């Protein structure tokens, strides 16, 4: 039985991933800052789910959580770096501590997870890493500057490790959804979400993750996986259009409705 370890799994996308993989017969690790909520979800799923506490910005907690999980599951096959936070609004109106915390969780959390998990992934019969990036990593986003920058970093980590870890037979992928119907986007203060709306569910993202890690042949699986038609369109447009077109397109999307 294959296993999957998910950070930030107590709610939202992480919980949707946990449910989907559990139904598919995986042993599921549900790790989150909110231990009580993680344990509640594990109890709902059944005996092949394990819950635990994890602050992804703390490397020592990663080491403890992964050792506990592998001791229970037998091996680590899939790591999903899902935990993340978002602050929105004008850059200068957001406290610097909030910008810094975004980097600590969204960037250092992914670095910590990948680094701590590698010894276990190398020993597994099948291994994949999926990092939660975002359509905000296609072009820098007004009113979401630190969040967007953190997801660009996740994109770079995924690209670099997907090449570097091919020697171990480990694919490192990222998924890039636009706005998803979760608590993270509630009361979000950014023109982009007002103009583009929220059309993806947590289950849509979970389906994409399941699809990209369970394909029989991963040889031609792209490192970046945009989720939804809008994300796919924006991702393709950014690759084909001149830089000035991308800039003005994003200026238009970021405008505040009157």
Task: Let me know if residue 189 belongs to a domain.
Answer: yes
Asked if residue 251 has pLDDT above 60, the reply is no
Task: Let me know if residue 93 belongs to a domain.
Answer: yes
Spatial contact of 222 and 239, defined as CB atoms under 8 Å apart: no
Q: Two tokens at 123?
A: 């020993």
**Confidence tier at 200 by pLDDT (50, 70, 90):** confident
Give the pLDDT score at 193.
46
Q: Which is nearest to 180 in space by CA: 230, 146, 145?
A: 230
CATH of the domain at 59: 3.40.50.720
**Confidence tier at 140 by pLDDT (50, 70, 90):** confident
Give the pLDDT score at 82.
96
- Coil, strand or helix: which one is 250? helix
Give the pLDDT score at 191.
44
Which has more pLDDT, 249 or 103? 103
Give the pLDDT score at 186.
52
Distances (CA, A) of 255 to 25, 79, 232: 45, 37, 21
Which has more pLDDT, 86 or 16? 16
Instruction: Please state the domain count of the chain.
Output: 1
Give the pLDDT score at 247.
53
Average pLDDT over all residues of the chain: 86
Give the pLDDT score at 69.
98
Task: Let me know if residue 151 belongs to a domain.
Answer: yes
> Is 147 marked active-site?
yes
Spatial contact of 75 and 4, defined as CB atoms under 8 Å apart: no
Asked if residue 33 has pLDDT above 70, the reply is yes
Task: Let me know if residue 41 belongs to a domain.
Answer: yes
Domain membership of residue 157 as a residue range: 3-253
What is the rounded (10 degree) CA torsion for 242, 245, 247, 248? Answer: 170
Give the pLDDT score at 189.
46
Asked if residue 225 has pLDDT above 50, the reply is yes
Cα 21 to Cα 55: distance, rounded to the nearest angstrom: 23
Task: Let me know if residue 106 belongs to a domain.
Answer: yes
Active-site entry in 31, 120, 147, 248: 147
Task: Let me know if residue 229 belongs to a domain.
Answer: yes
Give one DSSP letter per residue of 87-105, joined into a string: --S-GGGS-HHHHHHHHII
Task: Let me know if residue 258 belongs to a domain.
Answer: no
Which has more pLDDT, 156 or 236? 156
**CA-based torsion, 97, 246, 228, 192: positive or negative:** positive
Task: Let me know if residue 73 belongs to a domain.
Answer: yes
Phi, psi angle pair for 52, to nearest 5°: -170, 170
């Amino acid at each position: 039985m294959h296993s999957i370890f998910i950070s930030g799994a107590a709610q939202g996308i992480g919980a949707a991933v946990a449910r989907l993989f559990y139904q598919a017969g995986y042993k599921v690790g549900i790790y989150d800052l909110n231990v009580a909520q993680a344990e509640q979800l594990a109890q709902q799923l059944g005996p092949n789910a394990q819950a635990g506490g994890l602050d992804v910005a703390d490397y020592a907690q990663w080491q403890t959580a992964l050792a506990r999980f592998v001791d229970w599951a037998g091996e680590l096959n899939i790591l999903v770096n899902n935990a993340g936070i978002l602050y929105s609004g004008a850059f200068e109106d957001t406290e610097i501590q909030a910008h810094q915390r975004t980097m600590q969780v969204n960037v250092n959390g992914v670095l910590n997870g990948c680094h701590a998990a590698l010894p276990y992934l190398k020993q597994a019969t099948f291994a994949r890493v999926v990092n939660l990036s975002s359509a905000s990593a296609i072009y820098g986003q007004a009113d979401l500057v630190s969040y967007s920058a953190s997801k660009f970093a996740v994109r770079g980590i995924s690209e670099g490790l997907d090449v570097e870890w091919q020697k171990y037979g480990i694919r490192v992928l990222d998924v890039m959804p636009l706005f998803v119907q979760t608590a993270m986007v509630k009361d979000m203060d950014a023109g982009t979400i007002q103009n583009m709306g929220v059309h993806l569910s947590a289950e849509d993202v979970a389906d994409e993750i399941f699809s990209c890690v369970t394909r029989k042949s991963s040889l031609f699986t792209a490192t970046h996986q945009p989720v939804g038609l809008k994300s796919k369109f924006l991702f393709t447009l950014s690759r084909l259009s001149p830089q000035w077109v991308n800039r003005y397109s994003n200026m238009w999307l970021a405008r505040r409705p009157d």
